[in-house]
Chain A
């Protein structure tokens, strides 16, 4: 049913990803799909990496670890954005198209009142992407 499962990864906040990583790993195993871990970074230094190339190395290490953990095929893809604070959702949706993913598994928070005005990344990606999106809360 699924061949390429895309999982957006925030390397600075890995602790909130556990559920999404677990679900995507199991789905990949079930459908014999590949998991694409997608990170969005900026050109300026961040807490995670000095530059996008270093970010890619860290994401690759992360993907390799997940591959061992779940016994699946994985891949790491970094996308650089000029202004990730505003362009993150758009970059993720574009990434899903460019990578040819057929499912996005994305971590999100339980909606609060504020989400009625300012939707979460998961919610926005789900409303914009043309493929299935599984929002994990």
Chain B
């Protein structure tokens, strides 16, 4: 051994870690087969049941659309309005736990064992965190959400009977200045600490139970401290199936809506008509690039695309900052950060509030949405985070993305608000959601180039969601195996594109998105249990 250079073998011993002693072997419930030329290595019964459930839901939605659409939508509205206090409280618990992990000795635990070294550099890691976490949403909501909250805040409160019918956050605002602050604070609240805390808890639990405890990289492993060996049976199957269901429908419906939004953008910019053919072409193109990416693998495909996207997004943001109202934005960053911190306690308060529409329709909806995405994003973040300490992990997954969100919202929302209030440019306020970004950019120089970058970003963000999503679904449905035959991830990638096209043509994107968001409720309960499991798991680790 000694004659070989040091870096050749396994870099270093992984060091002490608290391996869980279980009889279960990764892939022991898997079925391996050769179907024609393609190999198959899937978990029985998670693969089959998730695939069939998804197909069944698509068929039911298409055939009985008029009756299931209101049903799914009502379910989502019921959950976010009846259990808004629960969603808000749960998200607060995740944020508090994250801060506790940073300041207590538990933060010293290293993911992957005491002497593990990071698998990825900071840039590659951040790029992947962002691309999977919220990339695409930032593109559409960065401009529109601050405007919405500003407009509803300045509109004041409207009471009919005993019920407030306005959508203003908290008690609305009286002055323009206050409305801007409240609008920005409410937006950052929905994209800042809370969503990232949700992702951080899921990702950290998965990483600890997989890399440190030696359990398979799949959702069910988190619940080992609570369920014991039963986690390998039906309780575990159900958790994994639910994760696949939420992830696939979340991705497919986003892809369908995304195609509509990207098509609207392409029409605005290049006059490409909004037709089913254009949308399907977009979905096929996005799926094709995602396929190339999954075939190229995590390092060759997903990471490279994510890095490219981060670079483009940074370019666009700094362009907007320097060409837009630079001074307003520079001071705005600190003002918005201060506003966020000031309003954070009242915005996150689950009880005794009167802003029902805002709290239930925006906040609880967002929390359910982030939570339903958390198995996907969490699995992905976990896989690329080995070698970091818990403290480093939480700071990087929670504080840095939140700060970047403040900056992003300040740049895009701040510019749009400044255009409306200072320049009297109302087009950005009146434009539909998918065109707000481009309408805002149209007021800045070099609109042809920036809009082109904007549309490329939108499309590549979809690709990075689609490829990382396919990897995650494949890993879950292969019982935590990350080296299952490549044909399986190809299957999931194509399946997702097909579901998107089917729903786009047959209708039902909204209904199934509502269904996907509704899975946020059971997951919120599971995640609260996961917090307990995580603490228990971390306490046994060498620090």
Point out residues on A near B: beta carbons under 8 Å. Answer: 42-47, 50-53, 55-56, 75, 77-78, 80, 82-88, 95, 98-99, 112-114, 117-118
Contact = CB atoms under 8 A, between A and B. Distances in A.
A46 B216 CA distance: 7
A81 to B, nearest CB: 8
A45 B216 contact: yes
A2 B173 CA distance: 81
B415 to A, nearest CB: 38
Contacts of B484: 85
A45 B214 contact: yes
Interface SS of A by simple majority: mixed
Given A45-B480, A47-B26, A50-B214, A83 B10 contact: no
B485 interface: yes
Interface in B360-413: 383-384, 386
A47 B298 contact: no
A45 B17 CA distance: 13
Q: Which of B10, B28, B486 has the most CB of A within 10 A?
A: B10
B19 interface: yes
A79 to B, nearest CB: 8
Given A83-B299, A85-B484, A44 B113 contact: no
B8 interface: yes
B119 A86 contact: no
B210 interface: yes
A93 to B, nearest CB: 14
A114 B38 contact: yes
A124 to B, nearest CB: 13
B378 to A, nearest CB: 14
A56 B347 CA distance: 52
Contact of A52 (B14, B297, B299): B14
A84 B14 CA distance: 19
Contacts of A117: 37
B217 interface: yes
B297 A82 contact: yes
Q: Which 6 A-B pairs have the closest CB atoms?
A: A114-B37, A86-B297, A50-B214, A83-B298, A83-B297, A84-B483
A19 B191 CA distance: 58
25 contacts: A44-B210, A44-B211, A44-B480, A45-B26, A45-B210, A45-B211, A45-B215, A45-B480, A46-B26, A46-B27, A46-B481, A47-B28, A51-B113, A52-B14, A53-B10, A53-B14, A56-B9, A77-B8, A80-B11, A82-B119, A83-B482, A85-B484, A86-B486, A114-B37, A117-B37
B482 to A, nearest CB: 5
B214 A87 contact: no
B293 to A, nearest CB: 10
B171 interface: no
Contact of B5 (A82, A86, A98): A98
Nearest to A78: B10
Interface in B453-500: 480-486, 489
A90 to B, nearest CB: 9
Contacts of A55: 10
Given A75-B1, A82-B119, A113 B37 contact: yes
Contact of B37 (A43, A88, A112): A112
B352 interface: no
B337 interface: no
Contacts of B300: 86-87
Contacts of B13: 53
B299 A82 contact: yes
A43 B119 contact: yes
Contacts of A44: 210-211, 216-217, 383, 480, 482
Contacts of A113: 37
Contacts of B10: 52-53, 55-56, 78, 80
B112 interface: yes
A45 B28 CA distance: 13
Nearest to A77: B9
B36 interface: yes
Contact of B295 (A80, A84, A86): A86
Contact of A85 (B17, B297, B480): B297
B121 interface: no
Given A52-B10, A82-B119, A47 B383 contact: no
Contacts of B298: 82-83, 86
Contacts of A86: 294-298, 300-301, 486
A47 B37 contact: no
A113 B483 CA distance: 23
Nearest to A10: B483
Contacts of B384: 82
A85 B299 CA distance: 12
B482 A42 contact: yes
A53 B299 CA distance: 22
A84 B9 CA distance: 16
A84 B4 CA distance: 23
B25 interface: yes
Given A45-B210, A50-B214, A85 B486 contact: yes
Given A43-B112, A45-B217, A47-B26, A78 B383 contact: no
A85 B481 CA distance: 10
A56 B13 CA distance: 10
A66 B420 CA distance: 76
Interface in B296-345: 296-301
B214 A51 contact: yes
B531 to A, nearest CB: 23
A44 B380 CA distance: 12
Q: Which of B4, B5, B9, B299 has the most CB of A within 10 A?
A: B9
Given A44-B211, A46-B481, A84-B483, A98 B8 contact: yes
B213 to A, nearest CB: 8
